[in-house]
Amino acid sequence: MDKFTIKDIAKLSDVSTATVSNYLNGNYAKMSPNTKEKLANIIEKTNYRPSTTARNLAKNENKTIGVSVADITNPFTSPVISGISERCSEYGYKLVFTNSNNDEQKEVENINRLLEEEVAGLIIDPVNPNSNTYQRLSNTYTVIVDRQAQRSIIDTITTDNMKSVELMTQKMLDAGYTDLYFVTWPLSGISTRINRYTGFKNATKYTNDEHLLTIPYDYESSDDDSFTQTIRQIVTSSHGKLGFFTMNSRVLQNFLKVTQSLNYTYPDDFGVATYENFDWMQLMTPGISCIRQDSVAIGHAAMDLLKEKLSTNYTSEPAPRMKTIPTDIIIRESF
Amino acid sequence: MDKFTIKDIAKLSDVSTATVSNYLNGNYAKMSPNTKEKLANIIEKTNYRPSTTARNLAKNENKTIGVSVADITNPFTSPVISGISERCSEYGYKLVFTNSNNDEQKEVENINRLLEEEVAGLIIDPVNPNSNTYQRLSNTYTVIVDRQAQRSIIDTITTDNMKSVELMTQKMLDAGYTDLYFVTWPLSGISTRINRYTGFKNATKYTNDEHLLTIPYDYESSDDDSFTQTIRQIVTSSHGKLGFFTMNSRVLQNFLKVTQSLNYTYPDDFGVATYENFDWMQLMTPGISCIRQDSVAIGHAAMDLLKEKLSTNYTSEPAPRMKTIPTDIIIRESF
DNA sequence: CTGTTAGCGCTTTCAT
DNA sequence: ATGAAAGCGCTAACAG
């Protein structure tokens, strides 16, 4: 785009490139007010912009952090990015972004690309936190968000999954619900899902998985698929007071679509609550009780932690830390 | 992270850096099968990754495109990014991302940063398309999405705003609605809003702005604010069959919150339709009629166009083109 | 205060 | 088929 280099500016200003460089880096102490002003003018006039690439190479540093998200389509994701992005610009980092579309293979490629880029640090919203792709990463420059590995070696930031679900389930219990179901995408070893389910079991004291209802990740309700049948069966044969907890907003949507097609209504035919909070849940009639997680805060925390790590000098691989961001519970009229 | 450079590899392999470079670039014709294999082994063993920074500098090219979005929090934004991101990786570009949080000043900084980065191209979801920040950009390497400048000099991709709203409004008219209102954030010269409103006026033939209802961008309904009062006033005093068209999903949410607080229900007390489609609109009872825009397609189109531009050699600034992505209309029971 | 110069890691003629 | 060497645009000693 621009053809000007530091040499051109030096020539035009009748100084050396070193002086120009000093000017560029704010080392004004090293030059007379005169040259400083001259430089200011010329640079302004020529609209000269130093090449970040060359700078990075020369200083052997790269103020960029790489972000790899599992699925940008997930409504959880954009607030997290927003939080990261905010902190990035505060801290003077730029953000290069990759989306893996829930494809592990794609994620590996993305991470490789980012590594080649020589990003200073990595923030990963992992497709499968138990994958061994992350083994090769160092905890000195990466942090994981949202999903947590079974046996993690990397700092990770999650929301308070277990406790909050336990609490919400308890609320349903307190409201007299005796027959509770947990609706989720396949657990697949994914911590977010497992922890939420564990919270559910802690509260209900269910000892087996008979109250675990699983729908495929890409579930689209159709006429009378097996999930629809299951729900019908449960609703018609339940003895106690029947309630459902859905594992996130998308599962909730699928669930409600099914119950609507079945002509069941809440809170009459069943009670319902969900993880995640979105504006529309308040608009539903009745409003949906839910657990609100602060996704922006996750982004903030991730970048804060990363920055801290990047500015400390580790002599050895630091032990992984976990940070959980608190949630709160919103009770509406859905149970 | 890695300490290995091309020199190390050259030394280890007993060849020159030139040969290593050739290997790296797939110029296998320029070396014996022997050296090729030797290199392959050593590189594999050392886990060597060439520095993109150095490559960029040497080749004086940068396969990255910069994306500046107005507000990543807007649900419209992430599918667009998703589309761009998909094409980016197909085309071998990386994506550096900035969010302006609807702040023009921030956007200027972001664009400057991207320019300094020497990105190959720019995709901008503009805060204010009529700002003169964009004047300094060249149409050879940038494309604008979503919002269109009054007098544009840059290729832009938008959805079919005017026609689709005209069509939807016509549907309401056909359904017997005689008293229609357009609810929007302040028009503020923003093409998206203006075009949608124009479509509305085209259909209704209203000649003044008495049927234009504006809420602040950051509107939060409170007890009995002026918008709430306006709505109450309109509903109670309307003579004909009353309907509302909301300019996007967030306006719809605000609008529905207000009507709910007023204890009005649709489609009895009023009919309603909106721009934008989200899953939850189908869950509402009754379902909301809406205009579905294909945001992912916008992202695709933007990157496709950009790629085409980047690979053509312009001798002069190309004339700006407009591309509009078709929408479709989903009729449910809200009017 | 200012200039010289040797890199940063890689690419790319041009020789050999 | 391989290597020497001159850059790419900038930074950072080191001299002066």
Please report which confidence band the pLDDT of residue A300 belongs to, taking 50, 70 and 90 as the band edges. very high
Q: Which nucleotide is nearest to A48 (CA to C1')?
A: D9
Cβ(A245)–Cβ(A183) below 8 Å? yes
Residue A333, pLDDT > 90, answer yes
- Listing DSSP states for B135-151 in one string gives GGS-TTTEEEES---TT
Which residue shows structure tokens 């302004």?
A: A44
Q: Quick one: pLDDT at residue B1?
A: 45
| One domain, residues B153 and B250 | no
Each residue of A234-251: pLDDT tens digit?
Answer: 999 999 999 999 999 999
Which alpha helices (H) appear in B175-290, and where do they start and end?
191-204, 226-237, 249-261, 279-283
Beta pairing partners, A273: A245, A289
Q: Evaluate whether residue A301 is within a structural domain.
A: yes
Residue A71, pLDDT > 50, answer yes
Tell me, what CATH number does B178's domain have? 3.40.50.2300
Q: Evaluate whether residue A167 is within a structural domain.
A: yes
What's chain B's length in residues? 335
Each residue of B279-298: pLDDT tens digit?
Answer: 999 999 899 999 999 999 99
Instruction: Give residue B247's identity as a one-letter amino acid code.
Output: M
| One domain, residues A244 and A167 | yes
Beta pairing partners, A290: A274, A330
Residue A37, pLDDT > 90, answer no
At CA A260, angle to CA A256 and CA A261, rounded to 5? Answer: 120
HSE (CB half, 13 Å, CA atoms) of B221?
A: 21
- Asked if strand D comes closer than 7 Å to B58 Cβ, the answer is yes
Q: Evaluate whether residue A134 is within a structural domain.
A: yes
Q: Evaluate whether residue A249 is within a structural domain.
A: yes
Q: Evaluate whether residue B329 is within a structural domain.
A: no
- The enclosing H or E element of A121 equals strand A121-124
Nearest CB neighbour to B49, from listed A67, A81, A116: A116
At CA B27, angle to CA B119 and CA B9, rounded to 5? Answer: 85
Distance CA A317, CA A322 (A): 15
| One domain, residues B152 and B207 | no
Q: Encoding tokens for residue B129?
A: 């398309």
Q: How would you classify the pairing of strands A121-124 and B121-124?
A: unpaired
Mean pLDDT check: name the lowest of B24-38, B159-173, B257-271.
B24-38
Please report which confidence band the pLDDT of residue A38 belongs to, taking 50, 70 and 90 as the band edges. confident
Minimal CA separation from B53 to chain A, in Å: 6
Distance CA A157, CA A324 (A): 6
Q: How would you classify the pairing of strands A289-293 and A242-246?
A: unpaired
Q: Which of A44, A106, A107, A280 to mutate to test the interface with B (most CBs of B within 10 A)?
A: A280
Query: SS3 of A27, please?
Result: coil
- Candidate ranges A330-334, B16-20, B114-118; pick with highest mean pLDDT: A330-334
Query: SS3 of B186, please?
Result: coil
Q: Quick one: pLDDT at residue B315?
A: 85
Which alpha helices (H) appear in A70-205, and where do they start and end?
77-91, 104-116, 161-174, 191-204
| One domain, residues B312 and B251 | no
Percent of chain B past pLDDT 90, that is, above it, reads 69
Query: SS3 of A214, please?
Result: strand
Q: Quick one: pLDDT at residue B34?
A: 87
Residue A115, pLDDT > 50, answer yes
Q: Which nucleotide is nearest to A31 (CA to C1')?
A: C1
| One domain, residues A153 and A300 | yes
Q: Could you tell me which residues come within 8 angstroms of residue B171 by beta carbon, excluding any fewer than 6 positions away?
A: B273, B289, B329, B331
Distance CA A9, CA B317 (A): 26
Distance CA B124, CA B119 (A): 13
Residue of B nearest to A52 (CA): B117
Q: Quick one: pLDDT at residue A1?
A: 45
Which residue shows structure tokens 């280099």?
A: A5
| One domain, residues B282 and B311 | no
Residue of A nearest to B119 (CA): A1
Q: Domain of B126?
A: 53-157+296-323
| Residue A282 burial by Cβ neighbours in a 10 Å radius (0-12, 13-18, 19+) | middle
| Covered bases, chain C (protein CB within 7 Å) | 1-5, 7-13
| One domain, residues B288 and B167 | yes
Which of A128, A87, A121 lies closest to A106 in space, CA to CA? Answer: A128
Q: Residue closest to D8, CA→C1'?
A: B58
- CB within 8 Å: A53 and B118: yes
Q: Encoding tokens for residue B149?
A: 């400048």
Residue numbers in B near A251 (CB within 8 A)? none
Instruction: Give residue A251's identity as a one-letter amino acid code.
Output: V
| Covered bases, chain D (protein CB within 7 Å) | 1-5, 7-14
| One domain, residues A174 and A254 | yes
| One domain, residues A267 and A310 | no
Distance CA B7, CA B300 (A): 40
- Asked if strand D comes closer than 7 Å to B274 Cβ, the answer is no
Nucleic chain C contacts, protein chain B, residues 38-77, CB cut-off 7 A: 50-51, 54-55, 57-59
- CB within 8 Å: B282 and A257: yes
Q: Quick one: pLDDT at residue A8?
A: 87
Q: Quick one: pLDDT at residue A105?
A: 93
| One domain, residues B268 and B170 | yes
Nearest CB neighbour to B85, from listed A72, A79, A94: A72
Mean pLDDT of chain B: 93
Q: Evaluate whether residue A332 is within a structural domain.
A: no
pTM for the structure as a whole? 0.88
Residue B84, pLDDT > 60, answer yes
Each residue of A50-60: pLDDT tens digit?
Answer: 888 899 888 88
Each residue of B90-143: pLDDT tens digit?
Answer: 998 999 999 999 999 999 999 988 887 889 999 999 998 888 889 889 999 999
Which of A50, A87, A45 lies closest to B112 in space, CA to CA? Answer: A50
Each residue of B186-211: pLDDT tens digit?
Answer: 998 888 999 999 999 999 999 999 99
Distance CA A124, CA A133 (A): 11
| One domain, residues A175 and A190 | yes
Distance CA B319, CA B323 (A): 13
Cβ(B299)–Cβ(B97) below 8 Å? no
Q: Could you tell me which residues come within 8 angstroms of residue A298 by beta carbon, excluding any fewer than 6 positions away?
A: A79, A80, A83, A145, A146, A157, A158, A159, A325
A209-235 mean pLDDT: 94
Residue A3, pLDDT > 80, answer no
| One domain, residues A277 and A165 | yes
Nucleic chain C contacts, protein chain B, residues 240-259, CB cut-off 7 A: none
- CB within 8 Å: A94 and B96: yes
Each residue of A79-98: pLDDT tens digit?
Answer: 999 999 999 989 989 999 99
Residue A259, pLDDT > 70, answer yes
Which of A66, A71, A70 lies closest to A85 in space, CA to CA? Answer: A66
The Cα-based distances of A21 to A30, A52, A255, A287 in angstroms read 11, 13, 61, 60
Q: How many domains does chain B have?
A: 3
